[in-house]
Amino acid sequence: MRILLIEDDTVLGAAIRDQIAADGHSVDWVSRLDAAKAAMGGAAHDLLLLDLMLPDGRGIPFLRALRARGDATPVIILTALDQISDRIEGLNAGADDYLVKPFDLAELSARIGSVARRYTGNPNPLVTHGALTIDLAARSIRRAGKPVQLTAREWALFEAFLSRPGQLLSKGQLEDKLYTFDAEIESNTIEVHVSRLRKKLGAAVIETERGLGYRLGRP
C-alpha cells in the first residue's frame, strides 16, 4: 500500500515510517496539514495515518472535510489525546481506527493490516487463490503447501493485485507501490517484478492487458 503519514513529531514519525516501510508499504511523510493536502493532490494513497495536533491546525476538521467531499480513504488516527470523548469525536468524524500514543509499532502494523483488509471486503487475513495460500497478517505465502519467499518489492506488487481482484492496474499505479524502494524506478522495473512473481507463484497468477496494464489472474 501507499500510506500517507501526517505527523509532526520527528522522532516518532521516523520510527513509524521505518516500521511501515519494513512491512513493505510505500510511505509519504508530511508534518503539516497543508503539505498533506498537497500530497493527496499529487498521488493516490491507500491509507492515512493522521495526528490530531499539527502546527497548522487540528486533524479532526481535516478529516471531516475529507469525508464531506466523498473521500473514503481509510484513516487511522494517531494521537496523545486519550479521553473517551476524543475517541468518540475521531470515530464520528470518519476515522476507521484510533490509536493512542505511546503505542507499540507492531500493534500499528496489525491495525494497518486489519483496516486494509476490511476495505477490500475480506477481514480474514487468510486468502486462498488457486494453489496459493496467503496469510496477509504474517505476509507469508504457500504454493501447493510449500513456502514461497518474496522480496519486499515483490510482496508490495502482489498485495496491490490481491487488494483489487479483477481490477486492471496500470504500470504507473504499480510504480507508485514501489517508489520508496528505489531512488529511481527504471522503465522495465514492473515487467521484471511481474516476471519474477509468475516464476514463483505460477505463470497465470498475473494477467497482462497489452498496452493497458496487469490484473490478478483467475484462480
pTM of the complete model beyond 0.85: no
Class of domain 126-216: mainly alpha
CATH 3.20.19.10 is held by the domain 2-119 = no
Which residue ranges does the chain devote to CATH 3.40.50.2300?
A: 2-119
Which residue ranges does the chain devote to CATH 1.10.10.10?
A: 126-216
Could you read off the pLDDT of 66-77 as tens digits, one per residue?
999 989 899 999
Could you read off the pLDDT of 130-139 as tens digits, one per residue?
999 998 877 8
What are the Cα distances from residue 40, in Å, to 46, 195, 205?
A: 10, 31, 31
pLDDT tens digit at each of 219 positions of the chain:
889 999 999 999 999 999 988 888 888 999 999 999 999 988 889 899 999 999 999 999 999 999 999 898 999 999 999 899 999 999 999 999 999 999 999 999 999 988 888 876 666 678 889 999 998 877 889 999 999 999 888 888 898 898 888 889 998 888 877 766 545 667 788 899 999 999 999 999 999 998 899 999 987
Burial code (b: 16+ CB inside 10 Å, e: under 16) for 186-216 equals: eeebbeebbeebeebbbeebbeeeeeebbbb
The amino acid occupying position 69 is: R
The sign of the dihedral angle between the CA atoms of 201, 202, 204, 208 is: positive
